[in-house]
Structure 1
Amino acid sequence: MFTLIKNTLFSVSLFNISFNKKKESTQIKEEALVSILEEKVPFKDSKTLYGICGLELIDKMSNDLTAYLFIQKNKDHSSWNLVVPVIIDRITNEALQFGQGYFALEGSGVGLSYTDSIFRKLKEHKANGFNVSICPIIVDNKLLDDFEYIDSNLKWNDLLKDGINLANYQKREFVWIYKQYSEIKAKYQL
């Protein structure tokens, strides 16, 4: 009988010890997660970014355009290196900034289709007698993420300072991205 009680007390003690360790471990993980989130989102005031519906605004622009396709250097948010299109009116310097997550130059789905739609709109603009330039630029992910916030004080030309022209960065998946970009550009004769 004494052995039975002794074994029962021993197992209860082990359970309590492991339960407390688990609780401490969970608390440490939660504190680490809060710390990471605080570091990751230093900016709070996000811009109003355009999605696919914003493509109609290209029709309203009445000057020559430069379309920057800012491409993530690393795949942080998705399976693809996401693209952030920014269309600049060369005379007024007005910018149409589209949101990260809608556009891509990889795959065969919606992101690529939306990018194709931008090229179609740019071709229509060119057919109206305007000059159109397209510049695909690879940009550091953190810089591109911060660009979506007003309080980051980043402007589109800040992305050009550290950016790499897609034609000059033919590594890993960027060979395929450049191929997709070239095919769409040729399709719309831009």
Structure 2
Amino acid sequence: MATIDYYFTTLSPWAYLAGLRAEEIAARHGLTVVYKPLDIMALFARTGGTAPADRHPARMDYRNQELRRQVKKAGLPMTFPKPMFWPTNPAPSSYAIIAAQEAGGGDVGKLTHSILRATWAEEKDIGEEAVVQDCLEAAGFDRGLTMSGMLVGAETYARNLEEAVERGVFGSPFYILENGEKFWGQDRLDDMAAHLAGDL
């Protein structure tokens, strides 16, 4: 089955605001979303990006205004100006998503969104194993994947970064279709849908 490769970090507010729209678009076109969580700070360092903490105040002011606008458009709750547990260690949640995708049997889209929602709307620390386990269970996966999936998770997480750099990914969320078309940001999902429909 044809795929949409989805590169993202579990720390991204923009990935959270994407909700499940990529999954809905994929379903309409008979595609499968392949989830590729990665180390966003390492990606920034290798592709000319800047961590939020190091950005000029003018850029952060605009970012915060745009976040408020996009929250209203998405109709999703979000904690402002930033969640209690952000930033945190994204590796445990990323490994869990990778392990769950490998294991199958549950809903990876639901898992991914629940992890993002835990940070941005529920004031939970996704660096904690119990939080990730609850998300796994709610999406139909074995809680034990936080342990059994650590090795494959770590290896794939590192590989996702290398692959992302090679394919021209520089932010989150970032979607690449099999024909090479790229879409950066949750605000480009309508464009991706239009492209898949042959309208763009």
Per the normalisation by structure 1, the TM-score is 0.24
The structure where strand makes up a greater share of residues is 1
Larger RCO, structure (CA 8 Å, separation 6 or more)? 2
Per the normalisation by structure 2, the TM-score is 0.24
